[in-house]
Amino acid sequence: MSSLLPGPNSLVPFVSVDDMMRLLIDIGTERMLCELADAIEEDFRRWELFDKTPRVAAHSEKGVIELMPTSDGEAYGFKYVNGHPQNTRSGRQTVTAFGVLADVETGYPLLLSEMTLLTALRTAATSAMVAKHLMPKNAHTMAMIGNGAQAEFQTLAFKAVCGIQRVQLFDIDRHATAKVARNLEGYGLEVISCQTAEEAVQGAEIITTCTADKQYATILSDNMVGAGVHINAIGGDCPGKTELHRDILTRSDIFVEYPEQTRIEGEIQQLDADHPVTEVWQVILGRAAGRTSDSQITLFDSVGFATEDFSALRYVRKQLKTRPFFTNIDLLADPDDPRDLFGMVARKEQKLVQGLV
């Protein structure tokens, strides 16, 4: 009967939402954000190794479903992610995701993981890692505009990775702001809830925008952005959805993950297709200038890229060796004789008939 149990090649470790929460709690949120930022930066340093392609998107009236594959030649990863702004009306998440890491040598999956939580973590870690390279020296205050599901993760990543000590919150929904302020209690941050976006950006060296409306919006207008700030623009991330007034873009030096994708999805969809942008990996490797003056406005036009998910999945897989928050699932067929898939079923049927399984 043992031959009817799933063989070793059939099992794939699966990290459920519950497992991911336990992993995050076990490691600690700020530590995990720091380690994710390091893992993501490490892969940005290997940028040229990766197979890169804009994500494969299926758009509908209600939202988008995307597949984001990449590979470094040894491992292959992809993420399934949706974006449906109206989902909150039915008690669902705007963004949910899961992902897979696989072995390029055999094509066999090595890990299946929830990525709703992991995407929130990697997005925040990426933002903070990039800001570390671009923000003004000794920045200590961040404006956090948009107090949805990303806001706490963004704030804690900027605390842990960039050393910010104060966050100024604003959302058109006061309940959202209250939720973030409550959740951030006890983390040693000064948390200020603001009545207007103008108030939130006062004195902030870093401005993070992360709202969810699927439309062209002006969350930040030009007069709100003073010299020298770093803007971390998260919410402009699909065609037809932007957050910044165009005039801010033309005043800023713009940094992007992967121009081919950002020009379709990011804030820069408002600009000409040849508007100059700098790739983040080039700044990290010292091949392109980052911040060059105190008065310069730096803008990270973040849309999220497949390598960030790949880095996050690799990080999680590594953690599972010492923190076994996963279950094995029987995802792959593993017949005794690999050419005998049919026989595997036939033998199963015999055993079922004999009442042995």
For the bound state, the minimum distance from the C-beta of residue 202 to its own copies, rounded and expressed in Å, comes to 25
- C-alpha to C-alpha distance for 47 and 246, rounded to whole angstroms: 29
Interface positions, 315-354, toward its own copies (CB under 8 A): 329-335, 337-346, 348-349, 352
- Sign of the alpha-carbon dihedral angle for 57, 38, 266, 178: positive
Asked if 49 interacts with its own copies (CB under 8 A), we say no
Gap between the terminal Cα atoms of the chain: 8
Shortest reach from residue 113's CB to its own copies, in Å: 9
Q: Note whether 289 binds its own copies by CB under 8 A.
A: no
Site for its own copies in 166-225 (CB under 8 A): 176, 179, 182-183
- Kindly indicate which of the ranges 65-73, 127-135, 137-145, 313-321 contains the residues binding its own copies, using the contact rule CB under 8 A: 65-73
One of 237, 274, 294, 340 is an active-site residue; which one? 237
Please answer whether residues 264 and 239 qualify as being in contact, where contact means their C-beta atoms are separated by less than 8 angstroms. Answer: yes
- If one asks whether residue 288 binds its own copies (CB under 8 A), the answer comes out as no
Stretch 109-138 residues interacting with its own copies (CB under 8 A): 109, 114, 116-117, 120
Q: Taking CB under 8 A as the rule, does residue 236 contact its own copies?
A: no
Q: Is 22 in the site for its own copies (CB under 8 A)?
A: yes
Residues 152-171 that bind its own copies (CB under 8 A): 152-153
Would you count residue 53 as binding its own copies (CB under 8 A)?
yes
Smallest separation (angstroms) from its own copies to the CB of 143: 18
Active site residue 237: yes
Instruction: Point out which span in 83-91, 157-165, 196-204, 228-236 binds its own copies (CB under 8 A).
Output: 83-91
- Choosing from 36, 40, 84, 135, the residue that interacts with its own copies (CB under 8 A) is 84
Q: Could you give the residue numbers annotated as active site? A: 237
